[in-house]
Amino acid sequence: MNMSRLGSFRGTVGVIGAGRFGLALTETIARHGHDVLLFTSLGERARELQESRRLPAIVPELDRLHPKAGVTTDPRAFADGCSLMLLTVSSEYFSPVMEPLGACLDGAHQVVHAFHSLDGSGLQPVSERIKNLSCVLQVGVMAGPMHVSELLEGKPNAVVVGSAFPGIRDAIGKVLGAGHIQVYGTSDLRGVEYAAALGQVVAILIGLADGLDLGASSHAALLTRGLREIASLGVELGAREGTFHGLAGLGRLVDAVRRNEPNYAFGLELARTTSVHERLQCVPPEVQGVDVARHVDAWCRQHGAQVPVVQALARILQGDDPPRESLLALMQHDAALVA
């Protein structure tokens, strides 16, 4: 359902994380006429924003932060000032940020996260980690081909919000769904989380195939097969299959390839490296597909399950299988999966 332009939202919107996406969301929401409070645990970054209203080293596209946007490092002040919060920190900052902030949150708060990882061999999604570190019950996720530069330029963007709580879906539609942003809502929280997280593994594999120059047909077959396999895994984990064919799954995959997104770019680089082990020593934090592949591989071994595309990448990352031979073998395995 299209949640855009469903009326007005009253109150201050909270954004957690002063990275590129967090700052772009803060500015966008403020431009839509809402008061916004940005929370960051990074004191120096907060001071720079408070004093100069800019972070050119992080978001050079942003000339000056909107007057309706405030900045704080105080978790209690943030929790007291906002009921709706958008969580944009990366996986490495999740616990350091959420542990002190979570102690200040209660059942009245709504938290929607926008990063896509799975924790441990149990494949725990971010929404569960939020609930484990706080008293928050109303959680959601947003995913889709949204881009910092295009948000700030006012170009069309689209995002899907997954939550079992209609109030969350409505609220995000009201604060983001104005003008150039289309917000779609679904009750399939698990589907959006798993589609966005697992799709990153497929993006790495496609990048690897393209980097090895395996051709357009291999590219298309890996995308088709990868999407089908991760959708099957998602269904087993409680998601709805159709969600994987929407913005969070197929939409993000198409966008990842077109824009040389970090997971796809990592696959390209993996094809060019002479040592997979050395390349893995400096994986950018935004490349979540590496950890997701490892976690899914561990889950498969624990449950006697098979997700061949993900397990193939896991073996490549472990140095067990050479990339080219592994992908060629994968292409020949069970062709019915791409039919």
Distance, in Å, from the CA atom of 246 to the CA atom of 211, rounded to the nearest integer, reads: 26
For residue 243, give the H/E element and its range.
none
Residue 12 is given by DSSP the state P
Is the sign of the CA dihedral 206, 211, 216, 221 positive or negative?
negative
Distance CA 305, CA 224 (A): 20
Q: What is the 3-state secondary structure (H, E, C) of 48-114?
A: HHHHHCCCCCCCCCCCCCCCCEEEECCHHHHHHHCCEEEECCCHHHHHHHHHHHHCCCCCCCEEEEC
Rounded distance, CA 107 to CA 336, Å? 47
Element (H, E) at 235: helix 216-236
Q: Which domains does the chain have, with CATH numbers?
A: 13-148 (3.40.50.720), 191-338 (1.10.1040.10)
User: What gap in Å lies between CA 232 and CA 334, rounded to an integer?
Assistant: 15
Spatial contact of 307 and 334, defined as CB atoms under 8 Å apart: no
Sign of the torsion formed by the C-alpha atoms of 160, 209, 148 and 82: positive
Place of tokens 């998602």: 234
How many Å apart are CA 262 and CA 267, to the nearest integer?
A: 9
- Residue for token digits 């403020």? 30
Torsion sign (Cα): 321, 323, 324, 330: positive
- The residue length of the chain stands at 339
Name the one residue in this structure whose structure tokens are 């542990």: 99
C-alpha span between 218 and 213 (Å, rounded):
9
Calculate the alpha carbon distances from 2 to 174, 186, 314, 333 in Å. Answer: 11, 9, 37, 39
pTM recorded for the entire structure: 0.93
Per-residue pLDDT of the chain in tens (339 residues, 90 and over written 9)? 665 544 567 799 999 999 999 999 999 999 999 999 999 999 999 999 999 999 999 999 999 999 999 999 999 999 999 999 999 998 888 999 999 999 999 999 999 999 899 998 899 999 999 999 999 999 999 999 999 999 999 999 999 999 999 999 999 999 998 778 999 999 999 999 999 999 999 999 999 999 999 999 999 999 999 999 999 999 999 999 999 999 999 999 999 999 999 999 999 999 998 888 888 988 988 899 999 999 999 999 999 999 999 999 999 999 988 999 999 988 886 654 555
**Residue 22 and residue 40: Cα distance in Å, rounded?**
10
Listing DSSP states for 299-315 in one string gives HHHHHT---HHHHHHHH
Q: How far is CA 300 from the centre of its chain?
A: 23
> CA torsion, points 60, 64, 66, 71, in degrees to nearest 10?
80
Closest by CA position to 14, among listed 173, 184, 248, 175: 175
